[in-house]
Chain A
Amino acid sequence: MVDITPADAIPPAEVAEVELYHPHGWWTKYVFSQDAKVIAIQYSVTATAIGMVALVLSWLMRLQLGFPGTFDFITPEAYYQFITMHGMIMVIYLLTALFLGGFGNYLIPLMVGARDMVFPYVNMLSYWIYLLAVLVLVSSFFAPGGPTGAGWTLYPPQAIMTGTPGGQDWGIILMLVSLILFIIGFTMGGLNYVVTVLQGRTRGMTLMRLPLTVWGIFTATVMALLAFPALFVACVMMLFDRVLGTSFFMPAIVEMGEQLQRGGGSPILFQHLFWFFGHPEVYIVALPAFGIVSDLISTHARKNIFGYRMMVWAIIGIGALSFVVWAHHMYVSGMHPYFGFFFATTTLIIAIPTAIKVYNWVLTLWRGDIHLTIPMLFALAFIVTFVNGGLTGLFLGNVVVDVPLSDTMFVVAHFHMVMGVAPILVIFGAIYHWYPKVTGRMLNETLGQFHFWVTFLGAYLIFFPMHYLGLMGVPRRYNELTDMTVMTESAQHLNSFISIMAFIVGFAQIVFLFNLIWSIRHGREAGGNPWRATTLEWQTPQTPPAHGNFGKDLPIVYRWAYDYSVPGAKEDFIPQNVPGSFGLSKEPA
């Protein structure tokens, strides 16, 4: 138990050490801005724009799968280019960029009580390099031969061979260059997120008083900083193989009857490097979602998050463990079979802290005062889809069960549910939650309800039945599911149904985009703290927060982020910067 200092005995917080860059003109204020909030919006808009491209690509793929032979312009070549770009954009350029570059930039300084990120200039560079990476990626659509069609895993040797679209053209080169740029840009941003949490916290903001959102983004960034180098190494080595003729990954190969001048390399080496990045990447996307959803549930259920300490420990535990499970993506890759024992065990162990997080979310609802706002609805939907996708992960993580299911539609359904639908539902919830802070206006409720129901139910109807296609043995990455004994007629009907649902869900996103734009001017005025939340970003003097975030004095933090419905307090929430003692000061009996 720590002494409680009376509030008036504390000197006002000093201005943070950070030397803020004060913009003078329009360009430095809105374009080459060093303000994390502007950078956050730039990241979000860019990620959403490129995400829309990926959404359209998924429609094209579903057209082909749902109605085979109907759409002539989707050649096998084009189909593989679509799946590759769809996967890569969604995982890296949308989810990673939006969670860390978007939400991280906006929320970290505000939530920890800082005026800005600690290295604003580097932060600005981070965005512009990200934009460059996106442009290079987009340029591959217009390059001779089109973008790469190697699958988002880019497995060599096929990724750099003629049998794959873009393999011997520009596609794969542009993809690798774009990834390398992304990693450089991300590292610049990531340094900011980590060091701001370490050094930028305002007085009184100890680690255990951080909102879980910050914990999630912080841990995910640390992981990303350590995992992305693996992708960097793999990309550089593959670029050498493709451009300079080395044989890091290229074994002796006979291509279409001709001996290639390569030899000795190991495709498995690439897979190890790729998944050493690729598995932590799953949690790089999941942990910010975990953190954000914890705050959404707590705020809208007017109740402290249940088991805060366990939640923090679980985030750290998942972060550390996720570096020793990568080879569960490689059970049938031909690696040494004894690895299967080790990686199946570590993979199933990681299910335990993850399950604890789920329990704590639902236990937060227990005896709460649940306001069924749109952010809350999205949070509930997240739990459903995440539990569903997480549990199917227990199939795929358990090495021998993975054998029949790997590379089937079961895998596609699993990862879309767990790292596609679930985190994106959190993103939507978070946008409905924080939009009032960013713009000062609420998003339209009716459009929001429509968006929620269509997205949630539609996405569930797409991906839940898809598991059963995989169970039947329908393989993934096939542009034609015809002439196949496992693909019965009824299964083809199911496939068409899935495609139709995909269009409907995609359409709902357009409604959402409309809502985003329309509400900037026409939304209801929100006020500074419409959700009556405790965390610091809702306590700013201006909404939207001005340059420097907190006006003259930085806030002082007197309590943790979850003082909702404290017994003895008049209101059902006490902001973190409100002094005074309420509630339980002793261990409950």
Chain B
Amino acid sequence: MAIALVLVLIVVGSVLFHFLSPWWWTPIASNWDYIDNTIIITFWITGVVFAAVVLFMAYCVFRFRHREGNRAAYEPESKRLEWWLTVVTAAGVTALLVPGLFVWSRFINVPSDATEVEVVGQQWQWSYRLPGKDGKLGTSDTRDVTPENPLGVIASDPNGQDDVVVEAADLHLPVGKPVKMLLRSIDVLHDFYVPEFRAKMDMVPGSVTYFWFTPTKTGTFQVLCAELCGQGHPLMRGVVMVDTEQDYLAWLGEQQTFAELSAPQQTGSVDQTPRETTASGSKISARLETVEAR
């Protein structure tokens, strides 16, 4: 008997928790409210099914619990009922699948006016590369990675010379413009994940993956790594700032291009970049050590 009551309480409690608890998704900051809408549809359909099944069960337990002299009915099957349930389920599943696939096709087809931004993951930091004035990213190869060329840009490719390299620092994006994130890793799997943007994709060493989105709100957003990448995984954080067009251009103006970064080294003067790399790299390992030392 208690179980019938508890089953009802579970349904009521779960529904109340869903609507009343403070734990809900972060306010969206990209165009992917389509995804949020699909989730809402899914919540409704699955919620109704969950409540219906569990409440029906609670009723059965209450109504048909054993009492002296009771005998169960004999009822091997009911073809009609089973077919009906199958059809209704199939309809429910279709109602989930169709919008889902529709949004997926949007998700994988990048609009032609999207600008490309490259994200490079490595244990355990994020770097970025933006196309320069020519609007094209130069080719790259992990085998070309050196302390002077941390992203492995192929120096002989003229398209790469004016690329803006942002190593282990914040990424800025202009609001309202679609971006195609080209994702690359030089060591293990990573995953570029900003909860507010909803989109994410693994970065696979040896290949380039992508996703696209349009930032819709200015502000500062935290980047998390969402694919286990070794013991520094939880410390692999980054920052994306979505700026107004003006702020974005101002920031862009301060950045160095690939050619500028490799130039001073050719003349033999101070090599700032590599020191910076090791600095940020050792920062992480220092953090790891302190965590371990605790």
A associates with B: yes
Write the residues of chain A forming the contact surface with B, with a CB cutoff of 8 angstroms: 69, 72, 75-77, 80, 149-151, 153, 155, 157-158, 161, 163-165, 167, 251-257, 259, 263-268, 301-304, 306-310, 332-334, 337-338, 340-341, 344-345, 348-349, 351-352, 355-356, 358-360, 362-363, 365-372, 377, 380, 383-384, 387-388, 391-392, 394-395, 398-401, 403-408, 457, 460, 464-465, 468-469, 471-473, 475, 477-481, 483-486, 488, 490-491, 494, 562, 564-567, 572, 583-584
Contact assessment for A401 and B38 in the assembled complex, using a CB-CB cutoff below 8 Å: yes
Closest residue of A by beta carbon distance from B123: A163
Closest residue of A by beta carbon distance from B47: A391
Closest residue of A by beta carbon distance from B49: A391
Q: How far is the CA of A279 from the CA of B104 in the complex (A)?
A: 22
Q: How far is the CA of A79 from the CA of B183 in the complex (A)?
A: 28
Min distance, Cβ B23 to any Cβ of chain A, angstroms: 4
Per the 8 Å Cβ criterion, residues 42-65 of B in contact with A are 42, 45-46, 49-50, 53-54, 56-57, 60-61, 64-65
Q: How far is the CA of A254 from the CA of B53 in the complex (A)?
A: 53
Q: How far is the CA of A199 from the CA of B45 in the complex (A)?
A: 45
Of the residues B71, B221, B226, contact of A408 by C-beta under 8 Å: B226
Contact assessment for B75 and A362 in the assembled complex, using a CB-CB cutoff below 8 Å: no
Contact assessment for B143 and A252 in the assembled complex, using a CB-CB cutoff below 8 Å: yes
Min distance, Cβ A392 to any Cβ of chain B, angstroms: 7
Closest residue of B by beta carbon distance from A367: B73
A-B contact pairs, 5 of them (CB 8 A): A307-B76, A334-B183, A337-B104, A344-B97, A401-B100
Name which of A69, A252, A351 has the most chain B CB atoms within 10 A of its CB.
A252
The number of residue pairs between A and B whose CB atoms lie closer than 8 Å in the complex comes to: 339
Contact assessment for A395 and B46 in the assembled complex, using a CB-CB cutoff below 8 Å: yes
Name which of A72, A304, A355 has the most chain B CB atoms within 10 A of its CB.
A355
Q: How far is the CA of A75 from the CA of B145 in the complex (A)?
A: 31
Contact assessment for A333 and B202 in the assembled complex, using a CB-CB cutoff below 8 Å: yes
Task: Report if A351-B122 is in contact (Cβ < 8 Å); known contacts: A477-B228, A484-B224, A491-B23.
Answer: no
Contact assessment for B228 and A151 in the assembled complex, using a CB-CB cutoff below 8 Å: yes
Q: How far is the CA of A294 from the CA of B207 in the complex (A)?
A: 47
B209 in the interface (beta carbon within 8 A): yes
Residues of chain A within 8 A (CB-CB) of B89 are: 351-352, 355-356
Q: How far is the CA of A301 from the CA of B198 in the complex (A)?
A: 46
Closest residue of B by beta carbon distance from A71: B294
Min distance, Cβ A353 to any Cβ of chain B, angstroms: 9
Residues of chain B within 8 A (CB-CB) of A404 are: 25, 32, 35, 39, 195, 198-200
A-B CB proximity, top 7 nearest: A473-B195, A251-B206, A163-B230, A334-B209, A391-B46, A158-B188, A367-B73
Of the residues B209, B226, B231, contact of A406 by C-beta under 8 Å: B226
Residues of chain A within 8 A (CB-CB) of B90 are: 352
Contact assessment for A303 and B288 in the assembled complex, using a CB-CB cutoff below 8 Å: no
Min distance, Cβ B118 to any Cβ of chain A, angstroms: 15
Contact assessment for B123 and A365 in the assembled complex, using a CB-CB cutoff below 8 Å: no
Q: How far is the CA of A37 from the CA of B183 in the complex (A)?
A: 54
Contact assessment for A334 and B231 in the assembled complex, using a CB-CB cutoff below 8 Å: no
Q: How far is the CA of A480 from the CA of B141 in the complex (A)?
A: 33
Residues of chain B within 8 A (CB-CB) of A471 are: 23-25, 39
Contact assessment for A252 and B60 in the assembled complex, using a CB-CB cutoff below 8 Å: no
Contact assessment for B72 and A302 in the assembled complex, using a CB-CB cutoff below 8 Å: yes
Q: Beyond A306-B76, A306-B77, A565-B74: 16 further Cβ-contacts under 8 Å?
A: A158-B230, A161-B187, A253-B188, A264-B206, A307-B76, A334-B204, A356-B85, A366-B64, A370-B61, A387-B53, A388-B50, A395-B39, A404-B198, A404-B200, A464-B14, A480-B235
Q: How far is the CA of A340 from the CA of B105 in the complex (A)?
A: 9
Residues of chain B within 8 A (CB-CB) of A334 are: 183, 201-204, 207, 209
Closest residue of A by beta carbon distance from B94: A348
Q: How far is the CA of A61 from the CA of B119 in the complex (A)?
A: 31
Min distance, Cβ A160 to any Cβ of chain B, angstroms: 10
B113 in the interface (beta carbon within 8 A): no
State which size class the interface on B falls in: 35 or more
Residues of chain B within 8 A (CB-CB) of A338 are: 108
Task: Report if A254-B188 is in contact (Cβ < 8 Å); known contacts: A307-B82, A472-B25.
Answer: no
B242 in the interface (beta carbon within 8 A): no
Task: Report if A468-B72 is in contact (Cβ < 8 Å); known contacts: A76-B291, A308-B77.
Answer: no
Residues of chain A within 8 A (CB-CB) of B22 are: 488, 490
B229 in the interface (beta carbon within 8 A): yes
Min distance, Cβ A321 to any Cβ of chain B, angstroms: 13
Closest residue of A by beta carbon distance from B93: A348
Contact assessment for A475 and B188 in the assembled complex, using a CB-CB cutoff below 8 Å: no
Of the residues A167, A303, A405, A480, contact of B72 by C-beta under 8 Å: A303
Residues of chain A within 8 A (CB-CB) of B229 are: 158, 163
Contact assessment for B231 and A149 in the assembled complex, using a CB-CB cutoff below 8 Å: yes
Contact assessment for B97 and A369 in the assembled complex, using a CB-CB cutoff below 8 Å: no
Contact assessment for B71 and A155 in the assembled complex, using a CB-CB cutoff below 8 Å: no
Residues of chain A within 8 A (CB-CB) of B74 are: 303-304, 565-567, 583-584
B193 in the interface (beta carbon within 8 A): yes
Min distance, Cβ B242 to any Cβ of chain A, angstroms: 14
B147 in the interface (beta carbon within 8 A): yes
B162 in the interface (beta carbon within 8 A): no
Contact assessment for A345 and B97 in the assembled complex, using a CB-CB cutoff below 8 Å: yes
Q: How far is the CA of A259 from the CA of B292 in the complex (A)?
A: 27
Contact assessment for B61 and A400 in the assembled complex, using a CB-CB cutoff below 8 Å: no
Closest residue of A by beta carbon distance from B183: A334
Residues of chain B within 8 A (CB-CB) of A72 are: 294
Residues of chain A within 8 A (CB-CB) of B56 are: 362
Residues of chain B within 8 A (CB-CB) of A363 are: 81
B132 in the interface (beta carbon within 8 A): no
B176 in the interface (beta carbon within 8 A): no
Q: How far is the CA of A212 from the CA of B205 in the complex (A)?
A: 46
Q: How far is the CA of A340 from the CA of B103 in the complex (A)?
A: 11
Name which of B24, B211, B234 has the most chain A CB atoms within 10 A of its CB.
B234
Closest residue of A by beta carbon distance from B278: A257
Q: How far is the CA of A473 from the CA of B200 in the complex (A)?
A: 11
Contact assessment for A76 and B231 in the assembled complex, using a CB-CB cutoff below 8 Å: yes
Min distance, Cβ B85 to any Cβ of chain A, angstroms: 5
Residues of chain B within 8 A (CB-CB) of A372 are: 1, 3, 61, 65-66
Contact assessment for B292 and A399 in the assembled complex, using a CB-CB cutoff below 8 Å: no
Name which of B142, B209, B225, B228 has the most chain A CB atoms within 10 A of its CB.
B228
Contact assessment for B187 and A157 in the assembled complex, using a CB-CB cutoff below 8 Å: yes
Contact assessment for B53 and A358 in the assembled complex, using a CB-CB cutoff below 8 Å: yes
Of the residues A75, A149, A478, A494, contact of B292 by C-beta under 8 Å: A75
Min distance, Cβ B122 to any Cβ of chain A, angstroms: 7
B136 in the interface (beta carbon within 8 A): no
Task: Report if A365-B187 is in contact (Cβ < 8 Å); known contacts: A151-B228, A333-B204, A566-B74.
Answer: no
Contact assessment for A341 and B104 in the assembled complex, using a CB-CB cutoff below 8 Å: yes
Residues of chain B within 8 A (CB-CB) of A388 are: 50
Task: Report if A464-B195 is in contact (Cβ < 8 Å); known contacts: A369-B66, A377-B3.
Answer: no
Task: Report if A406-B73 is in contact (Cβ < 8 Å); known contacts: A80-B231, A372-B3, A400-B35.
Answer: no
B155 in the interface (beta carbon within 8 A): no
